[in-house]
Structure 1
């Protein structure tokens, strides 16, 4: 409920990238000459929504073992196991982006989330 209160009507965002920018998890790159940065989030958006999303990702990861699977947790766990160099926070930001993209798609297309349908792709 907190996330819905912070984001408002998702129909007002034409793309999921605009939703990411509203929350402040869109990436900014600081490249110069031969230096290529890995990117960092802008944090210009709604800080409360970012905190709620971070908590949501934590809850998704912890409840998956109790019979509530999701493709977001599958991605999160895969990234966490495969890359020891990336920080857990960076992986959580990626999972937050996936959650927002999923929410945006489901709301725009008037669909319910179905793990079995998503896991086939």
Structure 2
């Protein structure tokens, strides 16, 4: 599974890359720190799934998801947020995200959610 990771906090981004890279069937194609870069990378790389933070500098995760899906409707986006408010989750799903996952879970839960999004 090819993943593009979008996370603005450097330490979290590095930890997520490490966790995902330790999984045999996952390759992190690129790790981006902002939504605008993420849109360009996703449209260029065409990953199996995008792990998208919501709060990003400049273009936020909801708008980046909207732009990605407008340009490439078959993209699969899993929104990953530290504070999953119900309205935020609804906005992500309305935008076309395949799911919303809180950051409070462990690596196994994240990997399971990514696999589920790809096979859905």
TM-score normalised by structure 1 residue count: 0.29
Q: Which has the higher contact order (CA 8 A, sep 6+)?
A: 1
Work out which of the two has the higher radius of gyration on C-alpha atoms and give 1 or 2: 1
Report the structure, 1 or 2, having the larger strand content: 2
TM-score normalised by structure 2 residue count: 0.29
Report the structure, 1 or 2, having the larger helix content: 1
